[in-house]
Amino acid sequence: MKKLNFLDTGFLLAESREQPMHVGGVALYTLPDGADAQTFLHEIAGIMRDTDALQPPFGDRLKMGPLGLLGNVHWEADPDMDIEYHIRHSALPGPGRYRELFNLVSRLHSTLLDRKRPLWEMHLIEGLQNRQFAVYTKTHHAAVDGARSIHLSRSMLSNSADARLQDSPLSTASWERYRATLGERPHRGLSDREIRNVAEVLKARFDSGANLFSAVKRFANAWAGNDDALALPFLKVPRSSINTSIDGARRFVAQTWPFARIHAVGKAFDGTFNDAVLAMCAGALRTYLQNHTELPDESLKAMVPVSLREEGDIDSSNAVAAISADLATNIADPARRFAAIQASMRAGKAFYKGMSAAEVQAVSMLMQIPGMLLMPLGLASRLPPFNTVISNVPGIRETMYWNGARLDGSYPASIVTEGVALNITLVSYDQNVDFGIMACRRSIPQAQRIIDYMEDALTELEDAAGLASAKKAAKPKRSAKATSKAKSEAKAAPKAKAAAKTKAKPKAKVRAKPKAKAKAKAKAQPKPRAKTKAKTKAKVKTGAKARAKPRSVAGKKTTASRGRRK
């Protein structure tokens, strides 16, 4: 039996019907040439189920004592394991677009996992267009974090289209074989020395001693917003529509961007890839809240998880800490916004400087305790520790296959909590970055538009960095045929305009005539009068239509994105 640590148990304590605490993802595959979807997926499901010894956490269920979650909690092997319950085969309704897929995933992600069984599910989904199929998985956060999920996915994939599974990737044998390929080292816990170091760090910051003055000064500056870019949980976190009570229904949307494109933005501003991701998300959230007339004067803050997993450790359920980042959504200029985000992240990293990974995790957990106490009291939406979560999970940087089926994208599906109704998580795969946005369906209306605003924000950053002009210069020249056509259209345009002006002059003369003559003409010629009335109605209708147009963002018309763009 394996005992759950404090963080693992915390995910179980925080769970409710309105707040499921599982993480997951959607993987998109293209069928191998000549393969039938139903036959292929039935074969895959059979291979997955064909094992007697499942690796943790797939074969383990929770074991609690008389005190329940407040006492000792362990993982134990489920003696009545029913793998047919956990691996399911589904089909999408027509026409099988990404819209139908994301609607299904939204519903599946809204339901709780059965705590009397191992805390995971896998859904093989057929019916997509273009010979694609999808795999949606969800596993309780008490059992895995993002990095462990990537290892689990990697263990069942190959970089060869000809490779075939010999046994179930959920089996112990498959996991041991995968561990051997990584040269995995055993994970160690928090040592006595590190516990003492944590105590010393806390004393230096909060207790009396030689460093009291500098510690108090740093925290005072942070709370006052002077001379320090350090953001802390609960520090100047504004209320917004993102920070409300939630219900159990979810909305999932996803999108892919080229890794090189986002990385180029970070490099142009002398920042990191993660800085560019945060700036891209910050710009999108700024636009979203502006369009709903809800942008607060104070900048939004994001919780940015940081992996503390040691090299070679693939067995730990959770090994993460958190940095609070200022998203600078109160700054209109994208370059200045990027600089503010960058300074905030550097300050957050400097705060943990000199600590080991285990020490960082311990201090990070202590800072999250007030939020964990507020959540069961229903006060998290009134005193949010941060506005949203933006998580970057490093993924697999080469094209992968599952029994010959090419992996096209891997989109994470994470958690929203009471008071934090929006989560943005991204995974790098091959040459791309796959974003998954999870939102409370009621609290975040039109969540799909955030995808459009992210593209606008990225374009805005490229313009500010001078990258867009470089792209324009590199564009191929149009053909001579296209150029001559454009020229002829340009010549024709003034003629049409002149003709329109000529027709307009007689109408102006008619309106200038005396009333009596105008009445006589109206009686003699009733048709033009009806025509004028029709034209007036058309003008009114056109004006109403113009007012109903979506707002422009960065000079572009915004449209609701219903699915993953290709």
Count of alpha carbons within 13 angstroms of residue 294, beta-carbon side: 15
- Where helices occur in 292-435 by DSSP H, the ranges are 334-351, 357-374
Question: Which domain covers residue 372, as residue numbers?
Answer: 212-399+411-474
**Pairing outcome for strands 87-91 and 120-126:** parallel
Distance of alpha carbon 171 from alpha carbon 2, whole angstroms: 18
Same domain? For 146 and 218 the reply is no
- Give phi and psi for 389, each to the nearest 5: -120, 130
Could you tell me the pTM of the whole model? 0.74
- The helix-helix angle for 172-182 and 146-155 (nearest 10°) equals 100
For residue 118, the model assigns a pLDDT of 94
Annotated catalytic residues are 141
Query: Do 244 and 375 lie in a common domain?
Result: yes
What is the pLDDT confidence band of residue 553, given thresholds at 50, 70 and 90?
A: very low
Closest CA relative to residue 403, chosen from 175, 168, 165 = 165
20 in Cβ contact with 413 (< 8 Å): no
Question: Residue 185 and residue 314: Cα distance in Å, rounded?
Answer: 9
Residue 197: CB atoms within 10 Å: 19
The total of structural domains in the chain comes to 2
Other CB atoms within a 10 A radius of the CB of residue 146 amount to 23
pLDDT reported for residue 222:
56
Out of 166-170, 325-329, 460-464, pick the least confident.
166-170
Query: Is residue 375 situated within a structural domain?
Result: yes
Q: Which of 46-50, 182-186, 434-438 has the highest mean pLDDT?
A: 434-438
As a whole number of angstroms, the distance between CA 475 and CA 234 comes to: 47
Task: Give the end of a domain, one of 427, 447, 474.
Answer: 474
Is 226 inside any structural domain? yes
Same domain flag for 434 and 308: yes
* Residue 145, token pair as written in the block: 């974090």
Asked if residue 274 has pLDDT above 50, the reply is: yes
**For 206-210, 254-258, 273-277, 517-521, which range has the lowest pLDDT when averaged over its residues?**
206-210
280 near 334, Cβ under 8 Å? no
Write the DSSP assignment of 205-247 as a string of letters: HHSSSTTHHHHHHHHHHHHHTSS---B-TTSS----TTSS---
Q: Please identify, among 182, 201, 230, the residue that sits at the C-terminal boundary of a domain.
A: 182
Residue 493 or 299, more confident: 299
149 and 266 assigned to the same domain = no
- Domain boundary (474, 496, 514) is at 474
Is position 190 within any domain? no
Looking at the fold, whether 131 and 280 belong to one and the same domain comes out as no
CATH number, residue 365: 3.30.559.10
Q: What is the pLDDT of residue 416?
A: 94
| pLDDT tens-digit map of 64-92 | 888 888 888 889 999 999 999 999 999 99
Residues 217 and 176 in one domain: no
Contact 219, 277 (CB under 8 A): no
The CA-based diameter of the chain, rounded to the nearest angstrom, is 105
The answer as to whether 487 is a domain residue is no
Question: Is 13 in the same domain as 147?
Answer: yes
Coil/strand/helix, residue 249: coil
The answer as to whether 109 is a domain residue is yes
Structure tokens at 3: 């005992």
Contact in structure between 411 and 563 (CB atoms under 8 Å)? no
- 240 and 132 within one domain: no
Token digits of residue 149: 């999920």
> Which parts of 112-151 are beta strand (E)?
120-126, 132-140
